[in-house]
Amino acid sequence: MSVRSKVIEAIQQIAKEQHVTLPELSDDLSLHETGFDSLAFAILVARLEDETGVDPFTISEDAAFPATVGDFVRAYENVPA
């Protein structure tokens, strides 16, 4: 499974659990518009770390948190292997 589909699948799973109705997940969608609160993002990052072995937001101290779904996915795609 590609990194992108892993991320999207995890977002959808957490949305289901948190009873969040997601809009269509385009790259331009701002993370704010997903309806996720900070707890939902924290869950997402933790689960993706378990699945992929990386947490791109902790690796670098000054890593900016992404603004859009596309940025978020790329943060995982761009982690050096």
Partner 1 sequence: MSPREIFALRDHLGAELKGRTLSDAHDVVSLTDILSQTVLGGRLHELSGRAVLLKLSDQLRSGLAMIELDGIARRMLLCPPDLNPAHLDVLIADAGIDAVVTDEPDRWAGSGIALIVTAQLPLQATAPAKTERATEWLMLTSGTSGVPKIAGHTLEALTGVIVAEGPARGPVPVWATFYDIRRYGGLQIFLRAILSGGSMVLSDPHEALGDHVTRLNARGVSHISGTPSHWRKLLMSGSATQFAPRYVRLSGEIADQAVLDGLKVAFPNSSIGHAYASTEAGVGFAVNDGLEGFPADYLGNRSGVEMKVVDGSLRIRSTRTAHAYIGRNAAALADADGFVDSGDIVELRGDRYYFVGRRGGIINIGGLKVHPEEIEAVINRHADVRMSRAKSRRSPITGGIVVADVILADGTDPGRAKEIRDQILDQCRAQLASHKVPAVIRFVEALDVTPAGKLARTDA
Q: How far apart, in whole angstroms, are the C-alpha atoms of residue 71 and residue 58?
A: 16
Angle at 18 between CA 78 and CA 79, to 5 degrees: 10
Q: Nearest distance from residue 17's CB to partner 1, in Å?
A: 6
Q: Which of residues 30-69 bind partner 1 (CB under 8 A)?
A: 38-39, 41-43, 45-47, 50, 55, 57-58, 65
Give the H/E segment covering residue 63. none
Q: How far apart, in whole angstroms, are the C-alpha atoms of residue 15 and residue 22?
A: 7
Select 3 or 75, whichever has its Cβ closest to partner 1: 75
74 lines the binding site for partner 1 (CB under 8 A): no
Q: How far apart, in whole angstroms, are the C-alpha atoms of residue 27 and residue 73?
A: 8
Q: Nearest distance from residue 56's CB to partner 1, in Å?
A: 9
Interface with partner 1 (CB under 8 A): 17, 38-39, 41-43, 45-47, 50, 55, 57-58, 65
